[in-house]
Structures are given as structure tokens and as C-alpha cells.
Amino acid sequence: MKEGIHPNYREVVFLDLSNDFSFKTRSTIQTKETIKWQDGNEYPLVKIEVSSESHPFYTGTQKIMDTAGRVEKFRQKFGNRTGKTAAK
């Protein structure tokens, strides 16, 4: 590898702010904050809003929308009107 052209690839701690879940992984992301990890070492900290621990898809709380039912309700209410006036 050429020197000086690659970002610093290092261990980083990501903290999910919605449920205080954190995990350590490797990343090139730049941050100014640090946190003391369970092993006693200090690592750069990245705060995130959603992780696999809080995302509805992964937690099983995702709501499935019935879009076909909504389209049918719309068609029943408004019929096949296109919004244009019929030519006489």
C-alpha cells in the first residue's frame, strides 16, 4: 500500500443513543469523542440514532402497511375519475 493515501482504519465504538447499546468494530470514520471500553482501553466514539438493536425491522416491531387496501378504498371512493373534464 502507498503511504499517506489511505484513511486510518482502527477500532471504533458505536453507541446507539435510543437504547444505550454499544458495539466495537473497525472503521475509518473520523470522530473527536472517545469512550472507555469494557477492556479498559479508550476508543473513538460514534453516536448513532438507529442500530440493529433498535431498528423495527430487526426487533420484529415493524408494521406492514396494506397499500393494496388503500388503493381499493381510494378507487371505491373516487371511482375512475382522472381529474380531467370529459370532452363534449
Angle 8-12-14 from CA coordinates, rounded to 5°: 140
- pTM for the full model? 0.62
Distance CA 23, CA 85 (A): 60
What band does 11 get if pLDDT is binned at 50, 70 and 90? Answer: very high
| pLDDT for the residue numbered 27 | 95
For 74, the grid coordinates are 381510494
Task: Report how far apart, in Å, the C-alpha atoms of 7 and of each of 3, 29, 43 are.
Answer: 10, 9, 17
For 44, the grid coordinates are 473513538
Q: Domain limits of the chain?
A: 10-78
Using the predicted structure, report yes or no on whether residue 82 has a pLDDT greater than 60.
yes
| pLDDT for the residue numbered 10 | 93
Which letter does DSSP use for residue 71 in this model? H
Q: Per residue in 21-70, pLDDT tens?
A: 899 999 999 999 999 999 999 999 999 888 877 766 656 666 666 666 77
